[in-house]
Amino acid sequence: MKSPLLSLPGAVAAEGQDEGVAAHYGDLFREQRALADGKGFVDLSHRGVVTVTGDDRLAWLHLLLTQHVSELPAGEATEALVLTANGHIEHALYLVDDSTTVWIHVEPGTQEALLAYLESMKFFYRVEVADRTEEYAVVHLPAGSIAPVPEGTAVRETAQGRDLFLPRERLETFAEEHAPAIGILAHEALRVEAHRPRLTFETDHRTIPHELGWIGSAVHLQKGCYRGQETVARVQNLGKPPRRLVFLHLDGSEVHLPGHGTPLRLASDGPEGRKLGFITTSARHHELGPIALALVKRNVPADAPLIADTTAAAQEVVVEP
């Protein structure tokens, strides 16, 4: 979905996973500061939107997702995962129930596969699932924003702010009323600062929830019966995840940020040393400078200086080793 807000002055289109919205509108750090101060909004209209309706919607989702949602109060936001049979992360869902409909937003381009999975699991339950991406756009108002929400809009409110499921025909009017528009790069920089993982950025085909710290926020340990639950329970009770998420402070003298997949090695071993992990997301932060999230092997010492190619990187623990 290509956003009409790419026609706003200064808009520079994002690439890769976030193609379709603006990377920034001409001043990355100004946009970050505005977002941190609770001003403006972020266009996330490229994200997929799925709805679930019907009397059994919460009880049914409770059987499929890693989160406890059978008694989810109306208006209370949560997040959940869909796992493979081996416990690997397949989908990440950000959802809220408005008392008649569960509204879900997901990574761009993943809604069709999610919808196919949900349709295959309906059986005799009184539920209807629908892809609403062409009808609704997600926009984000940061924490502290006092901007009004259009009447009748479904809202998912968390500590990071409010995600609005806005009819697409209202997107340009919303932008006029809630300026300034803020690009996805600013949103991503604050996500990295907050150590929040993102599907396909921090995950690969073998990622399990424990590695990213998704236990608690997206995985409820006191429920079972969902696909992949055996792996979650086994790692929680008997073992340790093979990798762990870390936050990195990168050398600010480097011109280029190390991109997704850049190998990490011990600084003492140099660029030819053994690969111990890789960069998942890097960003330039308005206060912290160059920062990144990364996955490293569990046994990498938490205080060990690392290098990403030739860029020095100092660790902060996100997931305990």
- The residue segments making up the domain with residue 41 are 4-47+135-194
Q: Is residue 202 part of a domain?
A: no
Domains: count for the chain: 3
20 and 117 fall within a common domain: no
**How confident is the model at residue 225, as a pLDDT?**
85
CATH of the domain at 113: 3.30.70.1400
**How confident is the model at residue 253, as a pLDDT?**
82
The pTM (predicted TM-score) of the whole model is 0.96
Domain end: 83, 110, 131, which one? 131
Lowest model confidence (mean pLDDT) among 60-64, 188-192, 234-238: 234-238
- 92 DSSP 8-state letter: E
Q: Is residue 283 part of a domain?
A: yes
Question: pLDDT-based confidence at 175, cuts 50/70/90?
Answer: very high
155 and 140 fall within a common domain: yes
39 and 181 fall within a common domain: yes
65-101 pLDDT per residue, tens = 999 999 999 999 999 999 999 999 999 999 999 999 9
Domain end: 81, 96, 131, which one? 131
91-148 pLDDT per residue, tens = 999 999 999 999 999 999 999 999 999 999 999 999 999 999 999 999 999 999 999 9
Q: How far apart are CA 78 and CA 130, in angstroms?
A: 19
**How confident is the model at residue 193, as a pLDDT?**
98
Residue 259 has pLDDT above 90, yes or no: yes
142 and 277 fall within a common domain: no
Q: Is residue 36 part of a domain?
A: yes
CATH of the domain at 280: 2.40.30.110
Look at phi and psi of residue 3 and say left if phi exceeds 0, alpha if psi is from -120 to 50, else beta.
beta
Q: Is residue 210 part of a domain?
A: no
Indicate the pairing of strand 41-44 with strand 181-182.
Answer: parallel
Q: How would you class 85 by CB atoms within 10 Å of its CB: exposed for 0-12, middle for 13-18, buried for 19 or more?
A: exposed
Q: Is residue 291 part of a domain?
A: yes
Q: Is residue 290 part of a domain?
A: yes
